[in-house]
Each structure stands twice: as structure tokens, then as C-alpha cells.
Amino acid sequence: MKLIPIYDDTAPVACTISQAEIPERIELVERMRTRMSSVERTEFGLLLHFPRSPEVDADLHQFAIDEKRCCEFWGFAITDAADDLTLRWDGPPAAHELIDRLKDYFEGNEPLTDLAGLL
């Protein structure tokens, strides 16, 4: 199946998160990483796979809402399958290096603190 991009290619690749929001967002992303079962790199971004649970579902929806509010260039979609929740996280070509760094983070190879101002 060929993916169609879901990001906003008219929005600047910029983040407007306030310093006060960063610790809570880091906590949420760390929680997502510990619950994640796998990550895949796609042409436009990432697919993050999680086991189904009400807590994970709530975290993914909250993350997508919060992230879209401060980083309009991202695109998010959540798919709920029988035994899997998938967060699709797309970005424009200008964000591909950042997406690669996010994949490294989710695989445990890069600290989130290096990305905190870019979430």
C-alpha cells in the first residue's frame, strides 16, 4: 500500500512549545517509548506500534493534539486494530533529518533532551 503524506507542507518547520510545557511533553514521549512495541521509518515519517490499552490510546491522542498545536507541520493519524495501536507521524521533506533522529530516539539510540525543543 502506498502512503499519501498527511503533513502540512505549507507550515514552517518550527515549534512553538513553551518552556513550561517541555517537561510534561518529555514525560509523555518517554511513556510512549517505554510502551512502544516497534517503530518503522516510512517515506514521510514514522509508524509507531503499541499494544492496545486505554492508557496508550489516551496518551497517543493527547500527544497528537498537543504536538499539532505547537508544530503545525507534523501530520498524525492513529489506527486502532484488533491487537495494535499505530501512531503515524509524518513530516515534510525539510523535517526528514529530524524524523531520522526521532527514529533513533525511539530505538533507544539518542536522548530525547537533544530533541526537546523540536517536538
The per-residue pLDDT for 4 is: 82
Lowest mean pLDDT among 2-6, 81-85, 89-93, 110-114: 110-114
User: In whole angstroms, how far apart are CA 81 and each of 37, 85, 114?
Assistant: 14, 6, 32
What are the tens digits of pLDDT across the range 26-71?
899 999 999 999 999 999 999 999 999 999 999 999 999 999 999 9
Residue 52's CB is within 10 A of a number of other CB atoms, namely 12
